Chain A
Amino acid sequence: MNNTYVSNPDSAISSVLNRRTFLIGIGSFATLLTACGSKSSPEVDRTASEIQKIISAKETMISDATDLMKADATLTAPLQVVIDQSRLHIEALSQYSTISSSPSVAEPREVNLPALASRCAVFSTNNVELACTLTDYELTRTIALIAASEMQHHALLSGYIT
């Protein structure tokens, strides 16, 4: 064998083995660190998942409200309020969601003013129910305030239904 890079085959084997051992060691340590880093209680996972559902529903709501605004300019004022405040809600909730946003499967839904107004009321009631199950004070308070805001959105949009 003509390997000019290796002067002593025994020491080379030893070096490769040491390197392998080292890499395996590093790999195991990294795996352990990753496992520790991602370990969270089922409660935390459940909450993060619930928050992500709220965020996704609000993103869909914003998209539908934007479409409705384009179709009927007279609804711009109330819908813009709902859109802006829903974005603030998402911003506040994002810190509690560890799951990255992914495109949700589009479910058939009505996109008209009564349907959007009704959706706001449903969001509000669902969020009150969720707030009553949480184990974190600040998140409970945030979700409760969002539920109150959603009820006001329901009242706001209902006022424009002819």
Chain B
Amino acid sequence: MSNPVIDERTALEDLLQSSYGAIYAYGVVAAYLADSDPALNAMAEYRKHRDELLSSFEELGLTTPPARAAYALNTKVVDEPSARAAASLLEENAIAHWANALFYLPKQIQQREGKFMQECAVRSFSWSGIASAFSSAS
């Protein structure tokens, strides 16, 4: 369970932890897909974004929280359909986290993070084929 987002530091920490979690989860998802490329590409996007967030921590003089050894997935992954469902769910969670954090983020990175949230929305749709009116964290 993530800590509540109440300021700039907690907002950045929440997004960094979400990125760590997504990188881990896509590793599991990729293992169950016949074509693992979309999952590996998504993982690469989160890695790139994690590095951008780490730079932001450094620029703001904040201490970086470390990644955990393992992250719990929101759904059990046992085959291709459940892997796709897990991928879609993690992206929906990401949308909810990014939308929640946006208000508290430093002005200079808000646009960047908003754009990343749009990319999460497209990835979520590409996994499930379902559009949501309002994404929510599970």
**Which A residues are within 8 Å of any B CB, using their own CB?**
81-82, 84-85, 88-89, 92, 124-125, 128-129, 131-132, 134, 137, 140-142, 144-149, 151-156
Contact = CB atoms under 8 A, between A and B. Distances in A.
Contacts of A124: 118, 121
Contacts, number: 86
B34 to A, nearest CB: 21
A145 B120 CA distance: 11
A141 B103 contact: yes
Given A148-B117, A152-B122, A155-B122, A132 B131 contact: no
Contact of A149 (B103, B115, B134): B134
* Chain B interface size, under 10 / 10 to 19 / 20 to 34 / 35 or more: 20 to 34
Contacts of B99: 141, 144-145, 148
B117 A128 contact: yes
Interface string B120-138: 1110111000011111000
B110 interface: yes
Contacts of B122: 151-152, 154-155
Given A85-B133, A148-B117, A152-B132, A137 B103 contact: yes
